[in-house]
Chains A and B, each alone.
Chain A
Amino acid sequence: MRIFDRSGELMDHDLIEQVHLERLQALVARLKRNVRRWRERLAGIRITGVEDLDRLPFTSPQDLLEAFPYGMFALPLREVVRLHSTVGPGGKPLVLGYSRNDLTQWARLTARQLVAAGVTSNDVIQISFGGGFFNEALGYMLGAELVGASVIPEDPFHIEYQLEVLQKYRTTVLVTTPTNARDLADLLQTMEIDPQSLHLRTLVLSRPIPDDQREHLEVGTFAEVRTGFGVPEVMAPGFALECDEHRLHVQEDQFLVEVLDGELVVTTLVREAMPLLRYRTRIAARLERGRCPCGRTGVQVLPDGRLDGRLLVNEMPLCPEQIDGVLARTKAAGQPFRLHVSERGVIVEVEVSENFFADEMRVLADLKREIRLEFLARLGVEAEVRYVSSVGDSGNRGSAE
């Protein structure tokens, strides 16, 4: 078992408590000084222990949306060296700012995750993420470079090409999404390629998966599966790491976590450009304290789905509200519809009235094409369009199933 940062990952409880207090006090002092929207809300609040966290206000995704683009920054824009965006409430964009040190920390935390997965400087690490996964890809790049591995950034736009890279570059570690990993395992099977003929040793996946899927992937690729868990607004990857015991440890020296009414709430303790105070992640989770044989002291997090109805379609986040917006741009605007969501794409059933049917077939075919293209262009999601005479009561204004 290798550990990248012993002092951070194995920090004893007593010291973690002290560090939490120190960093929380410094964070509150910084927010009061540097962020106008916090100045008044934090006035008069004095932190004397981590338990005082209760007295601090929350930050919601809606707050980030209202502060769009730079209202949450605690540093002037000229000192913010990277701007990422992520999906906020209703599919609207949120801006995430990073200072130079934030990027350094991101690299360190992701390096911890990769080293915990067994990555060393001898590895050839292929980072395969498509469009929409910039943040993840860049985080893994920073981490892998810090570990000193040979990094292959790659967009798996064509899976056969991806496989070719795996074979020819003798990739030992593949970082990708669970969906892509499954496609790859399936491809190996259809092409009758022995996974042992690859040099692949470890699969690092962007999100946790159930045990049966893990097993399927490990058999299908003959590689060990490790997952990460991140909250895009907080840090993804790098928020938590999976250890040899397959437990997800929060990197607790840098994040303060709470679970309130089943929701994961995170405070970033060292972020400079855009610190988050008690950020409501809209992710359901449980926390488990207790000794882990790996020695890491960070609390274990067990994430469990979203609380805001956001879906994951082909690994892309999709908010039900977005569907309306997409349909509104087509000639099907205002028509009742019903949505079936699978892991790979959506099926949109659009209700068409008698007189709609009276039209030429070509019109309907064009509309189908229009809707499909609109979904792909705006949401990056494959849509199959079906016409129905009635979507029923439940599907009146669109419902995702």
Chain B
Amino acid sequence: MLRVRNLRTGYGSLEVIKGVSFHVAPGEVVALIGANGAGKTSLLSAVVGLLPPWDGQVVIGGRDATGAPPWESIASGVVLVPEGRRIFADMTVMENLQVGGYRNPDRDRLIDEMFDRFPRLRERRGQTAGTLSGGEQQMLAIARGLIARPRLLLLDEPSLGLAPLLVKEVFEVVRGLRDLGVTICMVEQNAVAALEIADRGYVLETGEIILEGVSEDLLRNPEVMRAYLGKGYREVWE
């Protein structure tokens, strides 16, 4: 579904993604985890064409999409739900969803489907999106992405800035999508929560992938525990 090889990108002369390779197979949920500043968001941005890649290759569904503009990646079925939701705060819930399905002639039926999946959005369909709670906004952002009928859904920090209870709710939604067979690549700082619903994961550290594996192995990996689970693991051994 998605294959990335040796991707390099950055800002100005600063290289933030230093040759990253990863893949997402159809039907898979993959988590890219890493601390603040590891380059997770830059990586997703480069994949969808928001950030021009310096080098490397992005193949989406067998077609080379390296450096293709974002609208082309949407056309090829890749949808990014950006960090911090980025919903249109002054528009209503309904309008936001209509924008999400602008390419889809079948959008009204899909909007109905979204309302079935997220009943809270139906209740608030006429409300301006900016007045929704953080969790509801995240639901809206995900629903808006799903209306484009993605073959691959990229989620950038879906839990960012949400209260713990809402984080749980958002991950429930992602779990639901996984069970429906949606292919998902998720970037998360909340490593444990992300790995609990992902099939596989990659650990990104200062622009490089240092670990890859099935989620249950990564959760048991000492380096992951050191970096993300606290546990007073910072200790020099040499």
Contacts and interface: CB of A to CB of B under 8 A. Distances in A.
Nearest to A27: B210
A344 interface: no
B221 A272 contact: yes
A98 to B, nearest CB: 12
Nearest to A28: B208
A101 B209 contact: no
Nearest to A22: B21
Interface in A23-55: 23, 25-26, 29-30, 33, 36, 46-49
A101 B21 CA distance: 23
A75 B21 CA distance: 24
B119 interface: no
Contact of B19 (A48, A100, A101): A48
Contact of B22 (A22, A77, A100, A105): A22
Most buried by B among A29, A47, A100: A29
Interface string A72-83: 000111110000
A26 B210 contact: yes
Interface string B180-213: 0000000000000000000000100100111111
B222 A75 contact: yes
A25 B21 contact: yes
B152 to A, nearest CB: 16
B5 interface: yes
B237 A18 contact: no
Contacts of B5: 18, 21, 48
A29 B209 contact: yes
Nearest to A7: B25
A179 to B, nearest CB: 36
Contacts of A121: none
Contact of B6 (A23, A48, A75, A78): A48
Contact of A104 (B3, B208, B217, B238): B217
How many of chain B's residues touch chain A, expressed as a range?
20 to 34
B208 A101 contact: no
B23 A18 contact: yes
Interface of chain A: mostly helix, strand, loop or mixed: helix
B23 A101 contact: no
Contacts of A19: 23
A76 B23 contact: no
Nearest to A23: B212
B213 A270 contact: yes
A19 B209 CA distance: 13
A208 to B, nearest CB: 30
Contacts of A22: 21-23, 202, 209, 212
Contacts of A26: 208-212
Contacts of A36: 238
A101 B238 contact: no
Contacts of A99: 221-222
Nearest to A30: B210
Contacts of B210: 26, 29-30, 33
B237 A76 contact: yes
A15 B205 CA distance: 24
Contacts of A29: 205, 208-210
Interface residues of A, number: 28
A3 to B, nearest CB: 17
B235 interface: yes
Interface in B113-160: none
A18 B18 CA distance: 17
Contacts of B23: 15, 18-19, 22
A77 B220 CA distance: 16
A41 to B, nearest CB: 17
A79 B222 contact: yes
Interface string B92-126: 00000000000000000000000000000000000
A11 to B, nearest CB: 10
A25 B222 contact: no
Contacts of A21: 5-6, 21
A46 B7 CA distance: 12
Contacts of B202: 22
Nearest to B22: A22
B212 A101 contact: no
A6 to B, nearest CB: 13
Nearest to B6: A48
Contacts of A105: 217
Nearest to A78: B237
Contacts of A101: 213, 217, 220-221
Interface in A69-117: 75-79, 99-101, 104-105
Most buried by A among B21, B205, B238: B21
A30 B202 CA distance: 13
Interface in B41-56: none
Contacts of A75: 222-223
22 contacts: A15-B23, A18-B21, A21-B5, A21-B6, A22-B23, A22-B202, A23-B212, A25-B209, A26-B208, A26-B209, A26-B212, A29-B205, A30-B210, A30-B223, A46-B18, A78-B237, A100-B220, A101-B213, A104-B217, A104-B220, A105-B217, A270-B213
Ranked nearest first, the 5 interchain pairs of A and B with the lowest CB-CB distance are A76-B237, A79-B222, A29-B208, A29-B210, A22-B21
